[in-house]
Amino acid sequence: MAHTKTTDADELTARRPRDGLFIRVYFGDGRHIGPGMIELLETIRSERSILSAARALGMSYRRAWLLVDEIGRSFRQPVVETHPGRRGHGTDLTPFGERLIALYREIEQASAAASRTAVDELRAALAPLEAGVEIL
């Protein structure tokens, strides 16, 4: 179930129609990281709070917490650290949390650069949009 939730998270982050590559990295045993998890970590970094990040992304605190917990259990090192004494900004990313974001964004950028010619050929082959074509 935990992994299904994060797959949903990837879909939920699509607020406007996506453009370009959508990438999840699978590890062969059901574990994976994708754009939903990474966006949550980036929002925790800026909000310094899981609760505020959840609100900013329109998800429940419980859901955000479960996602963070799942990411944390997938890797050897924690991705966030909490400071219970602080009011408000009680959560920061760990250096490994930062590294996870950097690696994922690097994978996206390197993949986009490497496949640009092929993607451009696909775009050039698209039909003009008609009224009958449904848009997400």
Residues within the interface to its own copies (CB under 8 A): 1-4, 7, 11, 17-33, 73-77, 96, 99-100, 103-104, 106-107, 110-111, 113-115, 118-119, 121-123, 125-127, 129-130, 132-136
Do 60 and 54 form a contact (C-beta atoms < 8 A)?
yes
DSSP state of 76: S
Nearest-approach distance from CB 83 to its own copies, in angstroms: 24
Alpha-carbon dihedral sign for residues 119, 111, 4, 40: negative
DSSP state of 131: T
Nearest-approach distance from CB 42 to its own copies, in angstroms: 17
User: Would you say 76 or 87 has its CB closer to its own copies?
Assistant: 76
Helix (H) or strand (E) segment spanning residue 91 = strand 91-93
User: Would you say 82 or 110 has its CB closer to its own copies?
Assistant: 110
> For residue 34, what are the contacts with CB-CB under 8 A and spacing of at least 6?
6, 7, 9, 10, 23, 24, 25
User: Would you say 88 or 103 has its CB closer to its own copies?
Assistant: 103
Nearest-approach distance from CB 17 to its own copies, in angstroms: 5
Nearest-approach distance from CB 113 to its own copies, in angstroms: 7
User: Would you say 86 or 120 has its CB closer to its own copies?
Assistant: 120
**Tokens describing residue 104:** 């994922």
Give the separation between CA 66 and CA 56, rounded to whole angstroms.
16
